[in-house]
Amino acid sequence: MVAKRVSIFGATGSIGQNTIDLIRRDRPGYNIVALSGGRNIAQLACDAIDLQADIAITAFEDLLEPLRVALTGTGIEAAAGQTALIEAASRPVDWVMSAIVGIAGLLPGLKALEQGATLALANKESLVCAGALLKETASKHNARILPVDSEHSAIFQALVGEDITEVERIIITASGGAFRDWPLERLKTATLAQASSHPNWDMGQRITIDSASMFNKALEVIETKEFFGVDPTQIEVLVHPQSLVHALVGFKDGALMSHLGAPDMRHAIGYALHWPQRKDLPVQRLDLGTAPALEFYAPDLERYPALRLSYEVMSKGGLSGAAFNGAKERVLDHFIAGRIGFLDMASLVETVLEQADAQTGLIETAMSLDNVMRTDHFARTEVDRIVSTSTTYK
Ligand code: NAD
Ligand code: MG
């Protein structure tokens, strides 16, 4: 068997570590080209050595020296910074895990597609900001994008052998995050520590907070439109506290196909890693006889304004997704820094979306990398300007 050449971007994060866990179980099947990380040099170096990667890259140039030291005598290249990341993403491989958090994952993903790799996409932000660009790049280079988000992997699996034109609706589920049962009044007081703990999934801090605010689900609604090309009116969200049903696909004959599984990202990662085959995965098998009762209910859009905004973003189209994501990433920075409250995040994003709309040529313009980055920059700068000039915030 020929070993699969693999690179993992965001290798030190939650998705990256789950990917490495699967690869380590079947070590001879893989040839690791590049691993990238951020500040956790010890983890990055340890995995690079263990997996005998060709190159390890940290996103931060000031950490090049510690990474070099950690890799001394191993023959593994050490590199740092954006240019090095792009160079590594341009090295030919068969499969790339895109698991950097935020828009920083966009360019490495595009580079991976340009060299024809299969892109396993956990980095939903890149699809939200630049869906058309990613898809165009994939088709131009005969590359493929596979979903890794659990809901989108579930939809993808429910669609095997089906015709997308026969799909009536797609339902993605949401656990409801840390504040599922909190009334609106109480949400105003939600702290960083409270928002950073998820009832069902063990994930990176940013996506965990985005789950509590439903910004994560908002991104996923847009991700559903981009991945499967359905109309926004066909996409529904249901709160499902048990996180066992990940998505459902409804067909025009009324049939509803659902995907169930334990809340373990190794399922979706493993499906993308082995696709189009299925292989044994170390995930818990569900025993529905003893599982808790499955509940579903419609989300309260007043408590979760992010969800309402995602439909506005889709109806505006253009580069609205880039403005939405850029503003969302920046308000999250401010919430984490303690400058704004939990509910301020959605109201600030809404304000910035209105401002972006009012700028000629910002949203309604051609989808190109430069334009995406310009819109992202505008949204971030506007968030910063409002937060620093308003007396409402600290
Ligand atoms: P994480 O915070 O645990 O890890 C993020 C990784 O990205 C780390 O390796 C970090 O070093 C790297 N990184 C951070 N900023 C960077 C930058 N500016 N440049 C280069 N690298 C940078 O995040 P995660 O939870 O693993 O999520 C990764 C992606 O997967 C996100 O897009 C998230 O939305 C998506 N996702 C995660 C889960 C999950 O279960 N964790 C589920 C579905 C989708
Ligand atoms: Mg998800």
CB atoms near residue 256 (< 10 Å): 12
Grade residue 29 by pLDDT with cuts at 50, 70 and 90. Answer: very high
User: Is the C-beta atom of 56 inside 6 A of ligand 1?
Assistant: no
Measure CA 331 to chain center: 17
In this predicted structure, the answer to whether residue 198 has a pLDDT above a threshold of 90 is no
Single-letter amino acid code for the residue at 394? K
Q: How many Å apart are CA 199 and CA 329, to the nearest integer?
A: 22
User: Does residue 178 or residue 304 have the better pLDDT?
Assistant: 304
Measure CA 363 to chain center: 22
CA of 251 to the centre of ligand 1 (A): 33
CA distances from 269 to 97, 99, 273 (A): 9, 11, 6
User: Is the C-beta atom of 100 inside 6 A of ligand 1?
Assistant: yes
Say if CB 237 and CB 170 are below 8 A apart: no
User: Is the C-beta atom of 14 inside 6 A of ligand 1?
Assistant: yes
Q: Whose C-alpha lies nearest to ligand 1, atom 18?
A: 104
In sequence order, which residues have a C-beta less than 8 Å from that of residue 64 and are 6 or more positions away?
A: 58, 78, 79, 80, 81
Mode of pairing for the β-strands spanning 245-251 and 167-174: antiparallel
User: Is the C-beta atom of 101 inside 6 A of ligand 1?
Assistant: yes
pTM above 0.95, yes or no: yes
Written as six digits, the tokens of 70 are 């950690």
Single-letter amino acid code for the residue at 314? M
pLDDT at 354: 98
Q: What is the mean pLDDT of the chain?
A: 97
User: Is the C-beta atom of 60 inside 6 A of ligand 1?
Assistant: no
pLDDT at 215: 98
Say if CB 146 and CB 19 are below 8 A apart: no
Ligand 1 pocket: which of 58, 82, 207, 223 to mutate (most atoms within 8 A of CB): 207
pLDDT at 92: 97
pLDDT at 177: 86
User: Is the C-beta atom of 204 inside 6 A of ligand 1?
Assistant: yes
Mode of pairing for the β-strands spanning 256-260 and 245-251: antiparallel
In this predicted structure, the answer to whether residue 394 has a pLDDT above a threshold of 80 is no
Average pLDDT score over residue span 162-168: 98
Atom of ligand 1 nearest to the CA of 100: 7
Neighbours of ion ligand 2 (CB under 5 A): 149-151
Grade residue 201 by pLDDT with cuts at 50, 70 and 90. Answer: confident
pLDDT at 107: 98
pLDDT tens by residue, 320-379: 999 999 999 999 999 999 999 999 999 999 999 999 999 999 999 999 999 999 999 999
- Measured in Å, how far apart are the chain's first and last C-alpha atoms? 59
